[in-house]
């Protein structure tokens, strides 16, 4: 059983002031946001925003994981982004979505009405600045990912992905075992999603994972749980890129 695939949805509402993205905002901005905030919950597999839709809201994730993906006419799929708790999703100032946004796990979302948020943005420079900086960071991350897909082999991409998971403290925890401490990471998605994210196939992911295990870089506890045994080795495998540093 993978607890990350079945988050327990608590009944407490969004606490926007506690979201890292909004923390730096002045109190009145947060209050204004809170006034246009509605909670929505989705079950794994449900579509939040469909490709080419004109959604009425954007928001941020309180709990769960969303995947942004595109399905090509011939059926091939690609995930352009995984969004975890505290990430923003959707698109202000833009009519149509260019991707499907689906719940990869059960999810609870704090949603802002699009119109109301755009009004707010126009009247609140601090908020608009926050969004600008946020989008700039996303752009950087997207370009890092372009490099990942453009000139790295699958094993390197997998290593980079695991490093990103390591850096997200919510997904990683230090585990003391014997004399040396390991980093435990939970992979919150299945092999197929992971393959679509890394631009390859589930079989290749499987082989790459076990290759890392054979080299002693990771240990496989179960298909969704690994221990990082050799962090420097993993970093070397990833090609020393500084992944995820933009998204602390």
Q: Which residues bind DNA (CB under 7 A)?
A: 1, 153-155, 190-192, 199-210, 220, 223-224
Segment 19-58, which members bind its own copies (CB under 8 A)?
none
- Rg for the chain (alpha carbons), in Å? 19
Q: Is 81 in the site for its own copies (CB under 8 A)?
A: yes
* Rounded least distance, CB 78 to its own copies, Å: 4
- Which one of DNA, its own copies, none interacts with residue 202, CB within 5 to 8 A by kind? DNA
Query: According to CB under 8 A, which one of 125, 173, 175, 210 is a site residue for its own copies?
Result: 125
> Is the separation of the CB atoms in 57 and 112 below 8 Å?
yes
- Which one of its own copies, DNA, none interacts with residue 201, CB within 5 to 8 A by kind? DNA
For residue 176, count CB atoms less than 10 angstroms from its CB and return exposed for 0-12, middle for 13-18, buried for 19 or more.
Answer: exposed
- Which one of its own copies, DNA, none interacts with residue 81, CB within 5 to 8 A by kind? its own copies
Q: Is 136 in the site for its own copies (CB under 8 A)?
A: yes
Count, in order, helices (H) and strands (E) of the chain. Answer: 7, 12
Q: Which is nearer to its own copies, 4 or 163 (CB)?
A: 163
> Is the separation of the CB atoms in 61 and 93 below 8 Å?
no
Q: Which is nearer to its own copies, 106 or 156 (CB)?
A: 156
* Rounded least distance, CB 193 to DNA, Å: 8
Q: Which is nearer to DNA, 29 or 200 (CB)?
A: 200
* Rounded least distance, CB 176 to DNA, Å: 25
Task: Please spell the DSSP secondary structure of 14-68, one letter per residue.
Answer: --GGGSGGGTTS-HHHHHHHHHTEEEEEE-TT-EEE-TT---SEEEEEEES-EEE
CA dihedral sign, ordered 145, 210, 4, 70: positive
Q: Which is nearer to its own copies, 97 or 105 (CB)?
A: 97
Q: Which is nearer to its own copies, 75 or 178 (CB)?
A: 75
Q: Is 133 in the site for its own copies (CB under 8 A)?
A: yes
Bridge partners for 185 per DSSP: 172, 226
Nearest residue to 109 (alpha-carbon basis) of 216, 213, 242, 7: 7
| Host H or E run for residue 165 | helix 154-167
- Which one of its own copies, DNA, none interacts with residue 135, CB within 5 to 8 A by kind? its own copies
For residue 100, count CB atoms less than 10 angstroms from its CB and return exposed for 0-12, middle for 13-18, buried for 19 or more.
Answer: buried
Residues at the contact surface with its own copies, assessed by CB under 8 A: 68, 70, 72-74, 76-78, 80-81, 91-94, 98-99, 122, 125, 128-129, 131-133, 135-136, 138-140, 142-147, 149-151, 196, 199, 239-241
């Amino acid at each position: 059983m993978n607890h990350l695939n079945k988050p327990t949805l608590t009944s407490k509402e969004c606490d926007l002031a506690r979201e890292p993205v909004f923390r730096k905002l002045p109190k009145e901005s947060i209050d204004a946001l809170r006034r246009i905030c509605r909670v929505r919950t989705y079950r794994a597999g449900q579509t939040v925003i469909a490709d080419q839709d004109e959604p009425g809201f954007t928001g941020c994730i309180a709990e769960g994981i969303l995947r942004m993906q595109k399905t090509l006419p011939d059926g091939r799929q690609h995930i352009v982004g995984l969004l975890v708790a505290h990430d923003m999703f959707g698109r202000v100032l833009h009519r149509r979505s260019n991707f499907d946004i689906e719940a990869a796990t059960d999810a609870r979302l704090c949603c802002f009405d699009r119109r109301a948020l755009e009004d707010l943005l126009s009247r609140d420079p601090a908020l608009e600045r926050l969004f600008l900086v946020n989008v700039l960071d996303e752009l950087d991350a997207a370009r890092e990912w372009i490099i990942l897909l453009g000139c790295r082999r699958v094993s390197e991409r997998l290593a980079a992905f695991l490093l990103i998971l390591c850096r997200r403290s919510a997904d990683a925890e230090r585990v003391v075992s014997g004399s040396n401490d390991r980093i435990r990471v939970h992979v919150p998605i299945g092999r197929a999603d992971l393959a679509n994210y890394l631009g390859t196939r589930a079989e290749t992911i499987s082989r790459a994972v076990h290759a890392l295990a054979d080299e002693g870089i990771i240990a496989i506890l179960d298909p969704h749980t690994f221990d990082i045994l050799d962090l420097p080795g993993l970093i070397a495998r990833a090609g020393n890129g500084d992944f995820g540093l933009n998204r602390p």
